[in-house]
Amino acid sequence: MCQIGDSDGFRYQNFVHDGFGGCLEGVLIRLKFEFLAFFTTAYTLVVAVTGIAVASAFAAFAFGIAALFLSFIIVMIAAFVFFTAAAARIRF
């Protein structure tokens, strides 16, 4: 921490070294971390929503494939029953 005064009477405020030999006001540092926290939270939310969307799309795709497969099985069973019944009625 470095403490400097100014001509407006705000003497001995807490300032933070910027790493280049200067001082940054503590408020700016706090805003920087709030900005970082905001974008970290926003990024986390975007990743979570994207993950949910991808999982939902995959589940919908898998459900669609399963529905097509089951529909195919049901149609094959219905065709087998229909043609078996039709063949039973044919007299040779």
**Torsion angle in degrees (nearest 10) through CA of 54, 59, 64, 67:** 180
Between CA 28 and CA 1 the distance in angstroms is: 14
pLDDT at 18: 57
Note down pLDDT in tens along the chain; length 92 residues: 555 555 555 544 555 555 555 666 555 556 677 778 888 899 999 999 999 999 999 999 999 999 999 999 999 999 999 988 887 777 65
pLDDT at 24: 60
pLDDT at 89: 78
Domain ranges of the chain: 2-89
